[in-house]
Structure 1
Amino acid sequence: MADQLENIQGLVESVVRPLVDFEDDLSINAVEEADGSILVELRVNEEDAGKVIGRQGRVIKSIRTLARAAASSTNTHVEVELLD
């Protein structure tokens, strides 16, 4: 499961890193929840938050869809959250 955790975290990072201007402020933390699901927490500079969210939330929805699709082969639930 740790390998999948790193894979999901790497996938999210490879999608988000090109979107942000302040790469030093980017923080991605993936943890396994008690129920076996994966929670990916994103922290970005507040000026980059709009780019990661996108218009009407389309970009963050796409990131969530990609992460869930990557984990679907092992029937693992993935949640991606953008933290303040």
Structure 2
Amino acid sequence: MHAFIEYLIKELVSKPEQVVIDEVDEEGTTIYNIGVAQEDMGLVIGKEGNTINSLRNLVKAKAIKDNVRVRIQLNEMYDTN
């Protein structure tokens, strides 16, 4: 799942080398904390949150297929300027 999420995020952003994904297991759910550069936040979120919602739906579909529970959290890392 980690590789799948990483692939999707890195294809969206302008600075894929700055994508960080932390994985935390909490009460049977795997939480993926995704960190991207500040200037990439808008690209990942998308207009009215459409991009991040689509990403969550793709991950949810794969999670159902794999019979696992996942949650995606998006975090702004830092200003790279």
Task: Provide TM-score, normalisation by structure 1.
Answer: 0.82
Aligned to 2:38: 46
Higher strand share: 2
2:56 matches 1:64: yes
Q: What is the one-letter code of the residue matched to 1:13?
A: E
Q: Give the Cα separation in 2 of the matches to 1:31 and 1:67.
A: 16
Q: Structure 1: give runs of 5+ residues left out of the alignment.
A: 1-7
More deviation, 40-49/13-22: 13-22
Q: What is the one-letter code of the residue matched to 2:64?
A: S
Q: Give the Cα separation in 1 of the matches to 2:75 and 2:58.
A: 19
Displacement of 1:32:
1.5
Q: Percent identity?
A: 32
Displacement of 1:74:
4.5
Aligned to 1:5: none
Aligned to 2:25: 32
Task: Provide TM-score, normalisation by structure 2.
Answer: 0.84
Give the aligned length.
76
> Which runs of at least 4 in structure 1 moved beyond 3 Å after TM superposition?
none
